[in-house]
Structure 1
Amino acid sequence: MKYDEQIYRPPKEYKSILLQVTSGCTHNKCKFCGMYRYTNFKMESLEQIEKDIIEASNHPFYRNTKRLFLLNGNPFVLQTERLLKIAELIHRYLPKVEVITTYASIKDIERKNDEELKALKEAGYNDLYIGVESGNQEALTFINKGNTVEEAIREMKRLDKFDYYYYAMILTGLMGKGVDKAIENGRKTGEMLSQVNCRGIFPMSVTIVPGTELWEMYANGEYEEATEYDRLIELREILENLNPQKTALISSAHNSNTMYIKGIVPTEKDRLINEIDEILSEASPEEMQEWIDRRRIRL
């Protein structure tokens, strides 16, 4: 099967078939992100896609696989007609596949009308991974996210209307060093996520990557990195203000996070907050700073 040299997929998709339908990211302007910095966006041909699907169908490991993840940056940007054709090919050669999942941006969703979202859901598209990052408009503007908080809420509510499963990926530490910044960003993110019905919330933490605009700001003294203490305070504040209408999984399993938490909100919210409070009471900010060497993290 054809893959770019560097591919990314969520931890949850470790058993899924990985099918490359695009390369790169159509936005590719977020200050913190180096994933596709030097990759020009392009679409794979339908011929190549069909060839890869047939190859997967002939592999004994994939024959009974129920999930298929589309690569790379934001395949949901593709025109609905093309996505439906890809779904048709998947179901033709891989009839056991029940869910077609992918990364999607808020703008990708915005470009599709209600009829298109409904048709894609019926074709098997679900479990969308959305880089929400923050509920703080100042943070989104700072990182050049390309959408507003209001747009994010509106588009996730449109997904709710068609009963999509989707997961919000959020980033702690975006605004840099400072407890006040952590509290504000956490509060606004928690309040935003309380207005929609995402089925999963996956916190990650900003890691400054060479070659990104954020790295240049950091190297020039224009950006001071958040401390590990700041990041924990922000995670706690997100939980404190998180009151979703339906239950959602929250998991900080990503290796960029200061500590690991996992549970269902709101039912296990108090337990999760208590776990963070226990760490905050047992370790000093100076001790926490020794827990992670962020220059060695590989994303």
Structure 2
Amino acid sequence: MKYDAQIYRPPKEYRSILLQVTSGCTHNKCRFCGMYRYTNFKMETLEQVEKDIIEASKTPYYRSTDRVFLLNGNPFVMQTDRLLKIAEMIHKYLPWVNVITTYSSIKDIERKTDEELKILKNAGYNDLYLGIESGNQEALEFINKGNTVDEAIREMKRLDKFEYNYYAMVLTGLMGKGVDKAIENGKLTGQMLSKVNARGIFPMSVTLVPGTELWQMCRDGEYEEASEYDRLIELRQIIENLNPEKTALISSAHNSNTMYIKGIVPPDKDRLLKQIDRILNEASPEEMQEWIDRKNILI
């Protein structure tokens, strides 16, 4: 199967069939992100996509998974007709697959009509991974995210309307060093996610990647990286302010996080807060700073 050098997939998709349908990211302007910094966006030919699907159909290992994850940055940006053609090929050669999942930006959803979202859902598209990053408008502007908080809420509510499963990926530490910043950003993020019904919420934490604008700002003294204590305070604020109408999984399994938590909110909310409080009470900010070597984190 054809893959570019850079492949990124969520931890949850470790057993999924990885099918490259695009390369790069159409936005590619977020200050913190180096994933596709040097990759020009392009779409894979449908001939190559079909060839890869046929190859996957002949691989015994793939018989045990019912999911296909589309690579790379934001394949949901493609026109609905093209997405439907890819779905048709998947169902033709991989009839046991019932979920087609991928990364998507808020703008990708915005560009699709209600009817298109409905058709794509019926074709198997579900479990979309959304880079929400923050519920703080100031933070989104700072990182040059390309959408507003209100737009994110509106588009997630459209996904709710058609009963999509989707996962909100959020970033702690975006606004840099300072407990006040951590509290504000976490509070607003939790409040935003309480207005929608994400199936899962996956916190990650900002790591300065060489070559990114945020990394350069830090080198120039224009940005000071958040401490591990700040990040943990922000994670706590997200959970404390998280009161979704439906239940949602929250998991900080990503290796960029200061500590690992996993549970269902609202039912496990008190337990998760107690877990974080125990760490905050038992370890000093100085000790926490030694827990992670962020220069060696693989993003």
Aligned to 2:104: 104
Distance 2:84 2:298 in 1: 35
CA distance in 1, matches of 2:177, 2:215: 15
User: How much does 1:65 deviate?
Assistant: 2.2
Q: Distance in 2 between matches of 1:172 and 1:63?
A: 37
2:13 is the alignment partner of 1:9:
no
* Residue deviations 1:98-118 (CA, integer Å, cap 9, x gap): 000000000000000000000
Matched, 1:126 2:126: yes
Deviation at 1:35, TM superposition (A): 0.1
Which residues of 2 match residues 216-231 of structure 1 at below 5 A? 216-231=216-231
Query: Hey, what's the Cα distance between the residues in 1 that align with 2:64 and 2:89?
Result: 16
Measured in 2, the distance between the counterparts of 1:297 and 1:238 equals: 23
Q: Relative to structure 2, which stretch is displaced further, 165-174 or 63-72?
A: 63-72
CA distance in 2, matches of 1:60, 1:206: 38
Give the aligned CA root-mean-square deviation in angstroms.
0.4
Q: Structure 2 matches for 1:177-196, cutoff 5 A?
A: 177-196=177-196
**Deviation digits for residues 174-212 of structure 1, max 9, x if unmatched?**
000000000000000000000000000000000000000
Per-residue deviation, 1:64: 4.1
Counterpart Cα distance in 1 of 2:271 and 2:294: 28
Residues 1:211 and 2:211 are matched in the alignment:
yes
2:17 aligned partner, one-letter code? I
Q: CA deviation digits over 1:252-290, x for unaligned, max 9?
A: 000000000000000000000000000000001011101
Aligned-partner Cα distance in 2 for 1:242–1:174: 19
Query: After TM superposition, what 4+ stretches of structure 1 lie above 4 angstroms from structure 2?
Result: none
Distance in 2 (CA, whole Å) between partners of 1:200 and 1:175 is: 23
TM-score by length of 2: 1.00
1:54 equivalent in structure 2: 54
Which one-letter code corresponds to 1:139 in the other structure? A
Shift in Å, 1:6: 1.2
Letter in 2 for 1:162: F
Structure 2 segments unaligned to the other structure (5+ residues): none
Match in the other structure for 2:200: 200
Task: Provide the secondary structure at the position in 1 that maps to 2:40.
Answer: coil
Q: Secondary structure at the match of 1:61?
A: helix
C-alpha distance in 1, partners of 2:231/2:216?
A: 21
Aligned letter for 1:66? D
AA partner of residue 95 (structure 1): P
CA deviations over 1:92-141 (Å, ceiling 9, x no partner): 00000000000000000000000000000000000000000000000000
Identical positions, percent: 82
Q: What is the letter of the counterpart of residue 158 of structure 2?
A: R
Indicate whether 1:254 and 2:254 are aligned: yes
Provide the secondary structure at the position in 2 that maps to 1:81: helix
- TM-score when normalising by structure 1: 1.00
Alpha-carbon distance in structure 2 between the residues aligned to 1:5 and 1:228: 31
CA distance in 1, matches of 2:282, 2:63: 49
The equivalent residue for 1:88 is 88
Query: Which residue in 1 is equivalent to 2:290?
Result: 290
Paired with 1:296 and 1:99, the residues of 2 have a C-alpha distance of 34
Distance in 1, matches of 2:209 and 2:50, equals 35
Q: CA deviation at 1:152?
A: 0.0
How many Å apart are 1:63 and its aligned residue? 2.7
> Are the structure 2 counterparts of residues 194 and 94 from structure 1 closer, same or farther at C-alpha, using a change threshold of 3 Å?
same
**1:152-184 per-position Cα deviation (integer Å, ceiling 9, x unaligned):** 000000000000000000000000000000000
Determine helix, strand or coil for the equivalent of 1:242.
coil
CA–CA separation in structure 2 for the residues paired with 1:27 and 1:61 = 34
1:62 Cα deviation after fit:
1.1
Q: Aligned partners of 1:298 and 1:101: how far apart in 2? A: 23
Name the CA distance, whole Å, in 1 between partners of 2:27 and 2:193.
23
List gaps (5 residues or longer) in structure 1.
none
The residue aligned with 1:243 is: 243
Match of 2:20 in 1: 20
> How far off its partner does 1:43 sit?
0.2
Deviations 1:207-252 (A, max 9, x none): 0000000011000000000000000000000011000000000000
> SS at the partner of 2:156?
helix
Give the letter aligned to residue 32 of structure 2.
Answer: F
The equivalent residue for 2:32 is 32
Structure 1 CA distance for aligned equivalents of residues 236 and 17 of structure 2: 35
| Equivalent residue number for residue 158 of structure 2 | 158
Return the letter of the residue paired with 2:110. Answer: E
